Amino acid sequence: MVWYSVKPGLIPSLDVSLDKLSILLSDIDDIKAVYALKIGALLELDGLKKVISKIRDYTQIPIIIDHQKLADIPSIIKKVVEKIAAYDANGMILLGYVGPVSITTFIETCKDHGLASYIVAEMSHKGASEYIKEDTPLKIAKLAKDLNATGIVCPATKTESIQKCAAIIKGSSLGIMSPGHGPQGGGADSAVMAGADWIVVGRSFYNSPSPKQILINLGNVIINKWNDIQS
């Protein structure tokens, strides 16, 4: 089984300094619920190539690049994906609001370079959908399904959105990545019950005095909930 088809799982978000990585990644291979590690803009500022190399000192867990959600024109998206593919990353995230042409370019380029592709259908923070049409997340989910992306991103803070998007991609191999657990108000258990497969865990993980235990506990929660749904 290829790594990106494994469900369910946790995605620890590494929005920290390079110096703190050693604390967070120590013994992380022991936590079987971890699906992938997510690198965002804050850690990228330390130099993406150096960051990935540092992570590889500790683990071979797949790495998903969240490069400012890669919101750009198709030609730039193609170049960024090609460059990141050379850095030993395993997947990337794109903001779906950039439209169908950019989404298509992103997914096709990821496929060409062996990267998993995840499309943000809706973001998790308050006001994120203020200027977006109500059916936009559903259109993004349908296009991601039609183009055979790896998955879509729907917020744990909006379980109704997860349910609607899950209905759109039903019957396909796509999974749903869900951020917004913890400080933003979303719940990992309710997100999984709504249809999420992978839970992104950020501040409640890296700000905890016991980050490893957070992953173990949360991993048990989502695996049990996910198995209940499948049975």
Active site residue 69: yes
Q: Which of 20, 38, 50, 69 is catalytic?
A: 69
- Nearest in space to 45 (alpha carbons), one of 14, 71, 78: 14
Largest CA distance in the chain: 44
The catalytic residues are 69
